[in-house]
Amino acid sequence: MSEQGARELKSHCFRAEREGDWRKLERLLTKAEGGRPQRLSASELMEIPLLYRSAVSALSVARATSLDASLVAYLENLATRAYFFVYGARARLPERLARFFRHDWPAAVASLWRETLIATAILVFATGVGFALVWSNPDWYGSFLPDALAGGRDPTATTAFLKDTLYHPAKDQPLSVFATYLFTHNAGVSILAFALGFAFCVPTALLVADNGLTMGALMALFASRGLLVPLGGWLSIHGTTELFATVIAGAAGFRIGWAVMFPGPLTRLEAARTAGRTAGAAMAGVVIMLVAAGVLEGVGRQVIRLDWARYAIGGSMLALWLAYFYSPRRKLT
């Protein structure tokens, strides 16, 4: 027996020979994970995949031949970290953004067209219901617009007052702060509407419908005073963007809820993930749309007081979004 014959352990020789490479890989990874991969030189970046492969092969060898548990654990850890870096390597931020705007966002929204139609139908229907109910009996108004939200715009208000709310901004709030507030509030609600989709679509539908009811009630009140056209301008300047964003958020929620309920040939988990990928891109876009809506509502609406100009802006924004999302484009792989 060779108890004394083999002066050095084979596994120890193996480690001594490779240790330098492992430590080098560890050093590069620490640098790369430090948040600024661009600090790595080009040659260092090229080296990581090579070192990663040698670490992975070392791991296989170590598992088969070494009984040093700490060494195997170290290599497992090192190989995993390197794996995430090598295979997780993403394009740089500008490229990712460009891809998002050129392809991912419109493609995601376009593929949600069925859900978008459903959400639109719910919104329109709820608006009609809200309108009809308040038109036939103004008592309904308070159920759709709580006093806090109405801000004096209720059936007891004078026509002159109602007209005033359409053209004169609230004096106590600076425009840009107001716009920012509207954006953060709306974005929060949209994200909630999206997340609620997971609960089998119903809460999302309710949230979208709630939007419609409020709008319908408001329209009925103003219509009863012959102010429907000015109100339309007041709503549409930002509303085409904001409501479209709400509808897309609802559609994204529907997609996920539907995938969870009816996964089809995929497993439920797989279906949820596929739906999540599309819905996620669409939702990131919704946040951007709401920034635009916030600016239009907080600033544009307060500065532009002409009905036709408000309609024109609202209409062209809608046309812009529709063209951006649904116009045919080349497929990006």
Partner 1 sequence: MTAVPQTPRPATPEDRFIRRFITPEGTDLRLTLGSGGDRAAAFVLDVLIIVISLILFTIIVGVIAASAGLKNAEPWGIVWLLGFFVARNGYFIVFEAGPRAATPGKRMLGLRVAARDGGRLTAESVFVRNAMREIEVFLPAVFLLAANTAGDPVEGWVVLLGLVWTGAFLLFPMFNRDRLRLGDVVAGTWVVKSPRRALVVDLAASQSGGGFAFTPEQTAAYGVKELQVLEDVLRTRDKRTMAAVAERIRGKIGWYRQADERDEAFLTAYYAALRRRLEHRLLFGHRRRDKFDKA
Q: Which of residues 197-216 bind partner 1 (CB under 8 A)?
A: 198-199
Q: Is 9 in the site for partner 1 (CB under 8 A)?
A: yes
CB of 181 to partner 1, least distance (A): 6
Q: How far apart are CA 143 and CA 145, in angstroms?
A: 6
Min. distance of Cβ 125 from partner 1 in angstroms?
25
Residue span binding partner 1 (CB under 8 A) among the ranges 110-118, 186-194, 220-228, 236-244: 186-194
Q: State which H helix or E strand residue 323 sits in.
A: helix 307-326
Closer of 23 and 329 to partner 1 (Cβ): 23
> Total residues at the site for partner 1 (CB under 8 A)?
78
| Whether 207 contacts 250, CB under 8 Å | yes
Q: How far is Cα 290 from Cα 243, in angstroms, rounded to an integer?
A: 9
Q: Considering only the stretches 125-133, 145-153, 183-191, 232-240, report the one whose residues sit in contact with partner 1 under the rule CB under 8 A.
A: 183-191
* Count of H-run helices and E-run strands, the chain: 15, 0
Place of tokens 């790595």: 40
Minimum distance of partner 1 from residue 100's CB (angstroms): 8
- The answer to whether 153 contacts partner 1 (rule: CB under 8 A) is no
Segment contacting partner 1 by CB under 8 A, of 57-65, 112-120, 216-224, 323-331: 57-65
Question: Residue 180 interacts with partner 1 (CB under 8 A)?
Answer: yes
* Interaction residues for partner 1, span 96-115 (CB under 8 A): 96, 100, 104
Contact flag: residue 181 with partner 1 (CB under 8 A): yes
Backbone φ and ψ of 268, nearest 5°:
-60, -40
Distance, CA of 242 to CA of 311 (rounded, Å): 14
Work out whether 73 is an interface residue with partner 1 (CB under 8 A). yes
Is the CB of 123 or the CB of 187 nearer to partner 1? Answer: 187
* Helix H or strand E segment including 76: helix 69-87
The answer to whether residues 308 and 234 touch, using CB atoms and an 8 Å cutoff, is no
The residue type of 215 is: M
Q: Is residue 266 at the binding interface for partner 1, with CB under 8 A as the rule?
A: no
The radius of gyration computed from the CA coordinates of the chain, to the nearest angstrom, equals 29
C-alpha to C-alpha distance for 143 and 33, rounded to whole angstroms: 54
The one segment of 75-83, 112-120, 160-168, 317-325 that binds partner 1 by CB under 8 A: 75-83
For residue 42, the tally of other CB atoms under 10 A from its CB is 7
Residues 32, 119, 162, 289: which binds partner 1 (CB under 8 A)?
A: 32
Residue among 195, 206, 299, 318 that touches partner 1 (CB under 8 A) = 195
